[in-house]
Structure formats: structure tokens, C-alpha cells
Structure 1
Amino acid sequence: MSEEKSLNFIEEIIENDLKSGKYQTLVTRFPPEPNGYLHIGHAKAICLNFGLTKKYGGYTNLRFDDTNPVTEKTEYVNSQQEDIKWLGFEWKNELHASDYFDELYGFALRLIDKGLAYVDESTSEELAKQKGTPTTVGTNSPFRDRSPGENRDLFERMRAGEFADGSMTLRAKIDMASPNMIMRDPIIYRIKREHHHRTGDKWCIYPMYDFAHGQSDSIENITHSICTLEYVPHRELYDWFIEKLEIFPSKQYEFARLNLTYTVMSKRKLLQLVNENLVDGWDDPRMPTISGFRRRGYTPESILEFCDRIGIAKRENLIELSLLEFCIREDLNKSANRVMAVLDPIKLTINNYPEGQTEVMTGENNPEAEDKGGTREIPFSGSLWIEREDFMEEPAKKWFRLAPGAMVRLKHAYIVKCEDFVKDANGHITEVICSYLPESKSGNDTSGVNVKGTIHWVSAAHAQIAEVRLYDRLFSVPSPDAEEGDFKDYLNPASLEVVETAYIEPALAGAAPGSRFQFIRKGYFAVDKNSTPEKLIFNRTVTLKDSWKK
């Protein structure tokens, strides 16, 4: 019996809060900004927020933080919803920060009336200068002492559209000498004439994230507002707004974000890769987006297992991509059917096999599955495709595959012996000629011959043709963000190799997009979304072994 897993620090806080009666119901939220596709780092936050309410009861809201109309699109909203559902989670309420624009505007007026917010006409350069530095205190704005009445009038006129973009802001009146720079009279509203994907042109002023976020949590009675460590300095402002507005006391807790080797997590950088056509869109199988992993053939279970293994910590660290690859290998080993595919073909002709004869061999679909996955029929003939790398003219020591005079077993079929081979004018081997032992059929071998090597094959007359995309890591260095210069300088030029003509078993004809398979001896592959019955496309999910180990 396995030991019970110890609680992470957030679970400890929640258990204490529920036991003490501080909260009757646990309420969390997942609040993505709809300005890009969700990535593997978001998966960690999704698993945490939804996982906690699954464990302790209560519910999780999905709230789109749509306070910046410049970068937000309905496309991103739709993709984020799809990703959360694909991971296996359901939200109770689907909400948007824009649902609260009227209420947030009312909160701003309340702060103005309390003398806790003022309209500032300083330029962005002047605002930056007023802020001071971490070692020098800030200076008060010349507009800081306006009366509540004057501030209310100006703010209402800002909303009415009387002033130009950027000409005025609304700032909270806190403390320009605070050691926390964020508390030095932060901007809470700015003028921005941009069409919003939900509210249209109703608003020309928009709340800043720090003002919208905590108040939205409070409106929804969020008990535990969980975010990443970069928001630690923002917690003081989060609490200040809630206290001054005298609203439901949501509390913020921070955990370490997920940093993964051989990738970048910044949405800005990911958007750059998309916009500059360095990848095939947000769901390119090399991207760290959830939709990219899905297209590559990852399962929801493998990502949940990965998030569970890395756990929840208070300190930043860099997680090895190989751990995520380990999780998908473990999952697919049990769930993916085995098939044969030849990616770099040469012809193998069996010279003593009856001409024109075809047999049907039987192959196990998945010997690792609990039910063994059943069996499939595999046509066999005297003309086959094999991998070029399975023949060596001058074999190395301990070579157990085909070579002149050597014998191997053809998977699920017969033992063959290499009798000869053919080269073209350039010296490339084009055909291997073998004889077979008729009494050596798999499952009924009476030949008494033992061979050490087994190779895979596809019958030439029955093979289906497919395109195979061999994906590798997007970057060639573990920490592209930490390197000098442009992160794009470290893109891996070998991150995609396309095999335009691969030969696959006929059993794969009509495989549906998203179907996952193990190509025996080659790796795990998934059918791409752009695949058609006329043109099958397979994406390599992961190799069979970690080829990147030191």
C-alpha cells in the first residue's frame, strides 16, 4: 500500500481555513487573459485550481481577464475553453472581467469619494520619474491633492470620452514613499479607445489588471486566489483595495510557476514565433501550448501526471522536459497499439517465397495493455519494405540485423537469411535479397534456428503511404531565455524533419486524427489534424527512449 502523499503548502492553508470555519465553501478561479493560447505552465495552474475544489469540494470559476482590448480575441477564448475541457475539468461559472466593468467603475468612484484616488494629467515620462527607484522615494504628483469633487467630475468626463488617449489616468492615493514600488500611487484606469471583443465601443476607459483582479475575485467570493510568484509584490495592493472598498476579503496565495527546459513560456515570445511564421501556428507540435501538445499526441492523463509529479512549490526551479516525455511514454506504452511503419525504405525480396502468394500474419496490438489490446491481421508477401538502417554491407561487431549471410526474424513472420544485395549506379543499396525458412513462422516455429535480431517490415503490395513528421525540441539549449542575444537565435534547426513517403501497415488506413500508435522500434506517433484518408500524416509524439540524456 502506497504512503499517503503529503500536503502541499496551499492544501495545508485550505485545510486549516475549512477546519476553523473561516470559509464554508472553497471557491477558486482560473483567470487567463485571452491574449494567446494556454501553455504547459497554465496546465499546472489549471490542475491546481480545479484539483483543489475537486479534492475539498466547492467549485472553480473560469474568468477571462479581458481588460486589455488591444491584444484579446474570441479565438483565444475558444481555444482556452477547449484546453481546459480536454484536460478533464469543468468550471461552475464562465465569467469575464468585462462583466464587472460597471461595478469596477463604481468601485473607482467610491475610492475617489473617499479621497483615495485622483485623476492625474502627468505624461508617462513624468509618471515614471515620480515613481522614484527602489532606493529613492517617489515624489507626489502635482495633481495628487485635487478634491474628491474635482476628481469625480474629471473621471466621469474621462468615461464620457472628453479626453484623448493617454492624456489622463486615475491613480490610487497610497504612499509615494512605500518600499514596495507597486504601492506608489498605482494607475488604476487609463483612457484607451479600442474596440473590445465583448463590450464593443461602450467603454473608452479600462481598468488596470491590479484593480480589476482582486475586485473580480471579491465579487465572485473567491476564497483562495492562487497565482504565481511574480505577483507576491502585488499582494499588498490586492489587500489594500479590498480593505478600502470594504468588500468580500478574498486572499491571494502564490506558488512557483512552471519553467521547462528547451522552451520559452512568455506569451509575447510565443506570439512572435507564430507571427514570424517560425512555427505552424499556436498548435504547432513543437510549441509548449496545450493545443500543441494535443496535436503532437500527448494525452490529458500524461500532462496531469506531469503536473502531479512536479508538485507545488514556493521557489522557482527549472523542470526537465525529459520528465514530461517520461510521463507520455509511460501512458502510451499502456494505451497505444503497436504497428509497423518503415520510414527510410529499401526493398527486401524473398527469392524462395511462392510468387504471387500472400499470407495473413497475426500481430498483438499492445502486449503492455491489461487486455493485451487484441490482435490485428498483417498481410505478408515475398516483397517487403524494411528500414535502410537494418542492413549493413560490412557489419560492425555485435550486429544482429541483416548483413550478407546473416539471419534475422521478421516481426510476426519468418526467419530470413541475406543471400545478396543490389546497388544503384551511385553505390546506394536498393534491394536486399533473402531466402526464408518456411518452418520458422512466428507462433509455430519448428525450424530449431535461433536468431538474435528481429526487424520490422511492411508488405510492399499492401503498404499504405504516409507523411511522417519527426518533431524534436524547439530550442537547442536548455534555457533559451537565459542566453545572450535574441532567443530566436537558439531555435533548433533540426526540430522538424519531414519524411514524405513512409510505408505503413494497411491496418492504419482511415486512422482518425488524434489516434495514437507506437511505430515498433521507432517511437510514438499521432495522426495529425490535417490528415485525410487520401493522405495520412503522422506526428512523432516522442521517441521510445530519451535520446537527450547526457
Structure 2
Amino acid sequence: MTLSSVMATKIAFSFKGTPAYGALATAYALMAIRKENATGLAANSCANIQTSFSATQDKDVVLDHDGQTITGSNAVCRSLAALHSTCGLYGSSAAVSSQIDYWLDFSQDNLFVTDFKKLASSFDVLNNHLTLRSFIIGCSATIADLAVWGALKSNAIFNKQLKGGKYDGEYLIRWYNSVSALDFVISGLKDLDVAKNAAKDRKDQGSMSIDLPDAIEGKVVTRFPPEPSGYLHIGHAKAVLLNDYFARQYKGKLIIRFDDTNPSKEKLEFQDSITEDIALLGVKGDILSHTSDHFDHLLSEAIRLIKLGKAYVDDTVQEVMRAERFDGIDSKNRNLSIEENLSRFEDMKNGTESGLKSCLRAKIDMQDKNKAMRDPVIYRCNLIPHHRTGSQYKVYPTYDFSCPIVDSREGVTHALRTIEYRDRNAQYAWFIKTLDLRWVHVWDFSRLNFVYTLLSKRKLTWFVDEKHVSGWDDPRFPTVRGIRRRGLTIDALRQYIISQGASQRDLMLEWDKLWTMNKKVIDPISPRYVGIAKKDIVKGIFIDETIKVHTKELLKHKKNADLGVKTTTFGPEIYLEQNDAKDFEQDEEVTLMDWGNAFVKSIRRNPETNQVESVELALHLAGDVKKTKKKLTWLSSSMDLAEASKPVDLTLFDYDYLITKKKLEEEDSVQDYLTPVTEFKVDAFGDANLRLVKKGDILQLERKGYYICDRAYDANTPDLAIHLIFIPDGKLASLASKATDNSCAASTKPLGSSSATANKKKEGKATCVAANEKSGGVAAGSIVCPDTMYQVDSVYGQQESILDYPNDKMYKVEPVYGPEDLGTQKPKKAAKAAAKLSGSAKVSEAPKTATMESSLISKLDIVVGKVLDVKKHPDADTLYVEQIDVGEDKPREVVSGLVKFMTEDEIRGKTILVLKNLKPVAMRGIKSYAMVLCASNATHDKIEFLVPPAGSVPGDRVYFQGHEGVPEAQLNPKKKVWEAIQPDFTTRDDLVAVWKDVEFRTAKGVVTTSSLAKASIK
């Protein structure tokens, strides 16, 4: 049938999974014909087609036309071609259409598979068919070409073979590349990529579109209430920027209020530094205030609470009070009379002996499940003079008491607080209701938590006091000043925090995205200079005597002329890095950056160390810089250089994390996880232009990375080296922890290295400074940088050797995920292959047993876990989100569909079994990192946890006697190991969990269920 030229056909493509490339190409072919610019296709008139792209649509493609919906790539190809029959994509006759249908069916049945042999055979069929053909059917492209091309485009095996040059079907490759080069195909893929990138940006961009209740433009007031007891850290930066963001969004006001209620910790210097840091973040408050401005009012409100019978003075010692609050036991003073409480509070205000032993507590509910509501302390005595009010007061309010009162009094409409205060939100509301104050809306947002990073003020203070760092601005510190000194720009920090949005999900974040954003900010504006490591430096001597010392003006940044020029000195002798020179070959042509090519004419090595000491070079400026493999940085080192042209001394600094554990738990001691060495120094020569760099300037040392100047050149002390601090660039090598168990480990990107490639073979040494030494102190020793990159286990576990099938006539196709596992083959062939690998000449046929299952069961990593916490999934009524301790550094987040079977209290604290090496999968937006194993009755209306043996602890491994082995790090989902094993998981009549009558066991005994016999386990 033909289509009315008016009626539109709507097609929605999804990239949630593999896109429907064939349908995409067909749609864009028809649109190209409509515009009469498609090459090789009849330029007939076609109806309007409207395309859209989705990251969430479940179906790979959905066609909507005239009230009918069609899904599936080939079905959509057929429908589009039939609806637009005049365009010729379905052939010109029934016979041709029949042939086209054959190839569509062929692609569906033979190319959307992962069986290597079947694919190899299908590739062979296509290659033979296309030997003398430009198109599959006829002399122009049809949907046969587009559907087959789309199937191949979707096939990971074909693409890997093609990319690796391992597939030699020249006719199929020629045809595939020809279709890929069609204008309409390129156009469709481009639009798909644009949609993917836009969706990725939206995914990375945290949503700031929160619905602030009762938010009226011009009347919203937010506040940022730092305590002046330390320096602002990156977590505070998020708080101040979010409060500022919403105040500006609603054209409201931002209050900067210093919560100065604890004279023991607060100092004026902290208040001044916080003020400076807030300004540094580009935030300007509309109102500046102090909680101490309201001390008199807070006292009157405390007395009002006493008179209402809602507060009492308690002299219970702290340890007993803490225990009573935990157990829900009333204090002995809870029911004192109002008169007695007023008298005792007066003693507190006057700082009498009895008053100093007491505190004022709100009288709320000692049996409340929320322990924050169990009569919290709201006033304490403190005789230390306040930095603003001196000795005027001897009692001070707690933050929990003062915050809601001052918020309400100062006109705050929306109090944005980190999620750690969520349990105290009810307390906040209680004070407002009890004292009949103006209502303030509270909104929680997640804390900014980073791996290997401490944000606890108490723990950071310990590092400063113990001299593990040089101060609060140490580059290893997460303070605003520390990360600024490390080279993080405020622009990047603002972008990052806004990108995180006002999410309420508390996450442990990696540093990579923040530093990647920073690199995008600094790269276009960082002038380029040269630095050469001094250790084992190599002298390069030009044999051409006509080369004299001379200078040239070169751009500081080849892509940004606005940065100006630098003076580069050329001469007959140059410095090269050992790391570059050690790989030189005789007569090799290399490129000297910003100069030209040169031949290596001779190499002089130290006979004892084999280190290169000098090389002779012959300049070859006519050489093609594109053809050389080595691009080298260098510095002129001639003896007759003018003083201003001589290289300057540099010290290059890099840093490790202060702790070796990604996340410290509350009970962890910092001392147990101190990184032994956290500062790395490399001495280097720098190009003469670095004399003009100022402290705080950011630059790039070519082939090394980005640096920030921490100590500039001083003509009065020319012997003092310029200090440059390495700025992480977001790549794994610059962010990985450098610590090892037994020694000071080298930086993963050693500062003495000239290039990323060279880093992998670094042989030089970098000076290390231990964590307990002052920054910039005497070196604690030296370390040898590793010869190789960190070893990372295969995601899919140990892989076997490639098996050879000499009698197969099919094309040999390399497996996508590496060699096939012997256990996945038929026993006879597996035995032959194993014998071949071991060198055995004669093989007896293996018995037909469950060899495959036996090897598969050992791949499962089932362990004992303990549920530490559980809560409802924020976006799914049937799902729980659990935090489960499986004996690792931190709990795993697990999503389970147990809501209709168990309450949160029935789950919390349970010791259970989990399968922890499935591939993590996102369930309604939250990624699940394990699976809880449960027993279920036949009707699936009753579920029980598996019960580990008595004495089990998180991490205890479950094994199956006679089938022991090392589990894979992560199961390959394509091999469907779990799906093959799970049907044989059951419970016996005695309630013991078994796999094919083999008991689930740990070292402490067998695993059971509470009551379900003959149940399935999943």
C-alpha cells in the first residue's frame, strides 16, 4: 500500500540496550529520499517520517502509524518499506520482495546469536554471496542490505573481529564498509550519538528541579550555618553552593550565619577563613549573622520550655545518660517540678558548682524509636570565654535547639540540611510546634562523600595536631584551601556540585569526575612548558657543528594564542630524559618537540648500569614528524647559555591519599589506616620561562601533566627550586591509591616520567615523604617505581587457553570474552582439548558425567552476610534496599523484592546468604551488588531466608563438598552460569539446603531453612 504524503510515521528508537540499527538506517534512507539527496537510491517522493530517541524505552524500536504500533527492527524495516513502497526499498516486484524477505529472515535467525560456529558459517555465506555483488539484492540498496548491516552492526563478535583485523572475508567487509559510508546511514548514526551524549549529560547532571514546598518567588530565604571551629571542606562547599543556588533561583535571600554556640572549639581565625572561602566560592550572602546574636532570645525560649513542662535540668553523668537514652529509660530528674527546674537552670546560668554538673534537656519521648527524640540536651555549661561575647554567658544552646528557633526568627523559609540530620528533622519540627514558631520547611540533600577522604572535623584536626600534614591548606586535605592548593579551580568545583544536584541518595563518590571537569577548565588556559627529570639525565650532542645557540618566540599554547609567547632556546647540546633515551635505537629517527626530527647516530651507556649517559644526534629538519614513533621533550643545556636562558631547578610534588581504606567506619581508628607515604618529590630542570610563573598559576609540563605553582622563582634566592604540585587529570593512573601493604609505593604516574607510555616502564626513583612528616620535610627514603601497571583480575574470572579445532571447516572466530572455558564443552571434546593442552598424545574418552555442572558450581561466590540496614526503595513499592555486610571493607547495597513477604524489622539484623559475584544490575535506578538467597514454597507465597550455621560471620564462604574451587570474580552473564545451576537448588525434608543432594556448607556446618522443606532456592 502507498502512504498519503500528509500522514506522518513516528518512530522511537531506544538506546537503553542495543539500538535497532537496521530500522534506523531504513528510516533515514526514506528521509533522504524525501529530500532527494540519497546516493544510489531512486529519488521518489516519500511521506513524512518523524524520529525520536529514548534512553528508557524498553523496546529497541517502536513504529506508530495510523493508530497501529509495530516493534522489532526487522518488522519495522518491512513496515516502513511497505508503507513507502514507491521508494523502492522493498524491491520492484513480488519476486524481488520474496528474496528480500529471505535475507531479513536470515539476519534475524543467524546474526543475532552468540554461537561462534554459527556466526562463522553465516559470515561465510554472506561473504560468498557478495563476491560479485555491491548489494545483496539488485543494483541498489534495499531493506535486505539495511537489515543485514544493522544485525552485523549490533553483533559484538563481528565488530571485534573487524576491528582487530582477524576476519578475512574481504567481500563482506567491502560491502559492510560501503553501507556504513552511505550518507543517510552516517546521518542516522550521528543523530543517535547526539541523543546518547545528551542523555549521558542529563544522567551525569544531578537534578536541581526539586519542588520546594511553598516556594514563592522573591520570598524564599535559605541559610548556610557553618560552625567557626575549622576550615570549610568540600562537603561544606556543596552546602553553601546549593543554598546559594536556590536563593538565586527564586530571587530570594541567602543568610550566612555562624553557628557559634561552642566556645571550646571556636576561634575568630576560623570565622575569618570561612568568610574568605565562601567569597572564594563566588558566593555572597545577603545577610551575615551569628547564633550568638540571639543568645538572650534563646535563653528566654529555654525558660519558656521549662514553664511549659517541656524541659528539665538533669545532673545525670554523661555515660549513664547515654545508656539511658539508648535503652529508653527515663532520667531520675525527668519529673522534677517546674519550680525546681527553673531554680536549677538559674544555677546553670550562674555557673555554680551544682549548675556546672547539669544540662537542660527537652522533654519529648524516651520511648520514641527515633533516638533523636529521646530527651535531647539543649543547653550545656561552659566557662570558656566566647570569642564574641566573652564571659557574659556560662550556658550555651546546642545546635539542635538553636537552629529551628533562629531559622524561624531570621525569616528562613527553607532549611537545606545534609541527610545525616534526617533523624533530627522530627526534633526540629517538635521545637517549632511546641514553641509555636513560624514554620520552616526542611529539605535533605546527600552529603558529598569521596573515597579515601575524611571530612570529619575531629579527624582532620587530628592530622593537623599530629603533624601528618602541614596545615589546613595541605594539598592532601579536602578543605577548600587544600583542594585549591592542589590545583582544583572554583569553576570546576561549582560545576561539579551543581551537576550532583539536590539528590537525597548518599553515595561514596570517586574523585575522577571532579578532576576530569577541572581538566576541561584548565586545559585551554594552561601555558605549556618543559620539565626534565634530573635523575640519570642524558646529554644529547648534535654532531652538526653549525648549530649555534639561538632563541625563537613560540606560542605558550598552540591552540590559544591569547596566552602569549615564550622564548625557547636552541643549542648544540640538550638534556633528554633517561626514560626516553633508554629505548633509543641506532639510526632511529625521533622528533624533538618544537624543533624537528633528528637521527640517533650513537648511544653511550654506562657499562655497569646500562643507563644511557649521552647520545649523538644529527638534525633532520626535513623529516616527517608524523612518521616518527617517539616525540621527545628536551631542554637546551649548552655551557654558553645566558643566565636568563639556563634551565631552572624544579621540585615536582605528587600526593597520595592520607588513608588506605576507601571508607572509614565510625568504629575504625584512623591510625590503623594511615598511608605510610603520602608525598612524592622529583627533582627536575625546567625551561627558563618558568622564572616568570607566579604562585597559584596553573600550567602544563608537556608529556607530564598539569601543575600548579606552589613556590615561585625568587631572584633573591635563585638556588631555591620552584615548587610545582601535580594536578590529577581524572584518569585512573592519577587517582589510584599509591599505598601498598609492605612498602612505600611509587606514584602510578611517576613524576619523573616523560609520558603516559613511559610510565608503564618507569625505572627511576621518586623521593617519598612519610605521612607523619611535615610537608616539604626531609625525604624519608626513596622508592622504585613499578615496572608494570597495577594487575587487575579479569572481570569474568580465570580464562583458559584457546582451544583448537583442527577438523572444523568453519572460520575460526575468537571469543568476545576470551577463550572458552573447558567446562562449557561436551565432556569428550573437553577431555581431548585438555589432553592437547597438557601435551598428552593419547586420550581416553571421558565418562559422561556432570563435569560441566561440577565446574560451574565452584564459580558461584556464595557467602554469609548480615543485613545492617534496610529501607524501602524510593521509586519502587515492591523493593527493599539493604546494606549487607559480606566481610568486605564496606557493606554492599542490595535491592530485593521482599516487600510483600517481610517487614523491615524482620530483615534488619538478619544473618543470611548472598550470591555476591553476579554482575551488578540497576533496579529502578539503584544498582544492586549482590543477590539475597531465599527459600520459596511451590506457590511462591511464602519466602524464608536461608539460615547459616551457628557462629557464622559475614564473609564465611559456602562450598559444596567434592566440588570445591575458586569462584569467579564476576560471573559472565552471557554464559548463564547462575541460570544453569539454580534449578537444582532445593531444600530436603530435614530443611537442609542442597544442590543435587550436595549440602550447602560453611566451615561451621550446614545451611538450613526455618520451616520450608522441598522448597526452591533463588
Task: Give the TM-score of the pair, scaled to structure 2.
Answer: 0.49
Residue 299 of structure 1 and its aligned partner are, at CA, apart by 0.5
Aligned counterparts of 1:373 and 1:46: Cα–Cα separation in 2:
33
Aligned counterparts of 1:381 and 1:165: Cα–Cα separation in 2:
82
1:416 aligns with 2:598: yes
Residue 95 of structure 1 and its aligned partner are, at CA, apart by 1.7
Letter in 1 for 2:467: N
Moved more, 349-358 or 315-324: 349-358
Letter in 2 for 1:455: L
Residue 343 of structure 1 and its aligned partner are, at CA, apart by 2.4
Aligned counterparts of 2:315 and 2:626: Cα–Cα separation in 1:
91
Partner residue of 1:179?
Answer: 369
Partner residue of 1:404?
Answer: 586
Aligned counterparts of 1:208 and 1:214: Cα–Cα separation in 2:
11
Partner residue of 2:309?
Answer: 115
Aligned counterparts of 2:577 and 2:730: Cα–Cα separation in 1:
17
Partner residue of 1:215?
Answer: 405
1:376 aligns with 2:560: no
Aligned counterparts of 2:635 and 2:730: Cα–Cα separation in 1:
20
Task: Go from structure 1 to structure 2 and tell me whether the alpha carbon gap of 1:35 and 1:544 turns closer, same or farther (over 3 Å shift).
Answer: closer
Aligned counterparts of 1:77 and 1:428: Cα–Cα separation in 2:
58
Are the counterparts in 1 of residues 659 and 675 from structure 2 also a CA contact under 8 Å? yes
> For residues 365-514 of structure 1, what are the structure 2 equivalents within 5 Å?
365-369=556-560, 371=561, 373-392=563-582, 395=583, 402-424=584-606, 426-427=608-609, 429=611, 431-437=613-619, 440=621, 445=622, 450-460=627-637, 461=641, 462-479=646-663, 481-482=664-665, 486-499=669-682, 501-514=683-696
Partner residue of 1:351?
Answer: 542
Letter in 1 for 2:214: D
- Unaligned stretches of 5+ residues in structure 1: 396-401
Task: Go from structure 1 to structure 2 and tell me whether the alpha carbon gap of 1:71 and 1:483 turns closer, same or farther (over 3 Å shift).
Answer: closer
Aligned counterparts of 1:449 and 1:240: Cα–Cα separation in 2:
72
Are the counterparts in 2 of residues 362 and 412 from structure 1 also a CA contact under 8 Å? no
1:302 aligns with 2:492: yes
Partner residue of 1:198?
Answer: 388
Aligned counterparts of 1:447 and 1:47: Cα–Cα separation in 2:
51
1:256 aligns with 2:446: yes
Letter in 1 for 2:255: N
The match for 2:507 among 307, 314, 317 is: 317
Which whole-Å deviations, capped at 9, do the CAs of 1:475-494 have from their partners, x for residues lacking one?
34433x04995334333345
Residue 292 of structure 1 and its aligned partner are, at CA, apart by 0.7
The match for 1:520 among 684, 695, 702 is: 702
Letter in 2 for 1:55: Q
Partner residue of 1:90?
Answer: 284
SS at match of 2:256: strand
Partner residue of 2:467?
Answer: 277
Aligned counterparts of 2:576 and 2:499: Cα–Cα separation in 1:
39
- Unaligned stretches of 5+ residues in structure 2: 1-193, 737-791, 793-1018
Aligned counterparts of 1:49 and 1:537: Cα–Cα separation in 2:
37
SS at match of 2:700: strand
Aligned counterparts of 1:356 and 1:521: Cα–Cα separation in 2:
26
Residue 526 of structure 1 and its aligned partner are, at CA, apart by 0.5
Letter in 2 for 1:219: R
Residue 295 of structure 1 and its aligned partner are, at CA, apart by 0.7
Corresponding residue pairs, total: 526
Which whole-Å deviations, capped at 9, do the CAs of 1:292-337 have from their partners, x for residues lacking one?
1111111001111221233332221111111222112221212211
Are the counterparts in 2 of residues 414 and 436 from structure 1 also a CA contact under 8 Å? no
Aligned counterparts of 2:564 and 2:491: Cα–Cα separation in 1:
23
Are the counterparts in 2 of residues 361 and 412 from structure 1 also a CA contact under 8 Å? no
Partner residue of 2:211?
Answer: 13
Which whole-Å deviations, capped at 9, do the CAs of 1:458-517 have from their partners, x for residues lacking one?
2224211122212233334433x0499533433334532112x31111111031110000
Partner residue of 2:140?
Answer: none
SS at match of 2:615: strand
Which whole-Å deviations, capped at 9, do the CAs of 1:352-408 have from their partners, x for residues lacking one?
344882222343322344x5634322111122222221112xx4xxxxxx3333221
SS at match of 1:13: coil
Which whole-Å deviations, capped at 9, do the CAs of 1:396-429 have from their partners, x for residues lacking one?
xxxxxx3333221111013222223344575363
CA RMSD of aligned residues (A): 2.8
Partner residue of 1:364?
Answer: 555
SS at match of 1:214: helix
- Compare relative contact order (CA 8 Å, sep 6+) and give the higher one, 1 or 2: 1
Task: Go from structure 1 to structure 2 and tell me whether the alpha carbon gap of 1:354 and 1:197 turns closer, same or farther (over 3 Å shift).
Answer: farther
Aligned counterparts of 2:447 and 2:591: Cα–Cα separation in 1:
50
SS at match of 1:509: helix
Task: Go from structure 1 to structure 2 and tell me whether the alpha carbon gap of 1:61 and 1:449 turns closer, same or farther (over 3 Å shift).
Answer: closer
SS at match of 1:150: helix
Aligned counterparts of 1:47 and 1:338: Cα–Cα separation in 2:
32
Are the counterparts in 2 of residues 522 and 544 from structure 1 also a CA contact under 8 Å? no
Are the counterparts in 2 of residues 361 and 413 from structure 1 also a CA contact under 8 Å? no
SS at match of 2:415: strand
Residue 203 of structure 1 and its aligned partner are, at CA, apart by 1.5
Moved more, 310-319 or 526-535: 526-535
Moved more, 353-362 or 174-183: 353-362
Partner residue of 1:232?
Answer: 422
Which whole-Å deviations, capped at 9, do the CAs of 1:270-301 have from their partners, x for residues lacking one?
11111111122111111111111111111001
Residue 132 of structure 1 and its aligned partner are, at CA, apart by 4.4
> For residues 331-342 of structure 1, what are the structure 2 equivalents within 5 Å?
331-342=521-532
Partner residue of 1:398?
Answer: none
Aligned counterparts of 1:75 and 1:41: Cα–Cα separation in 2:
20
Aligned counterparts of 1:451 and 1:526: Cα–Cα separation in 2:
31
Paired-residue identity, %: 32
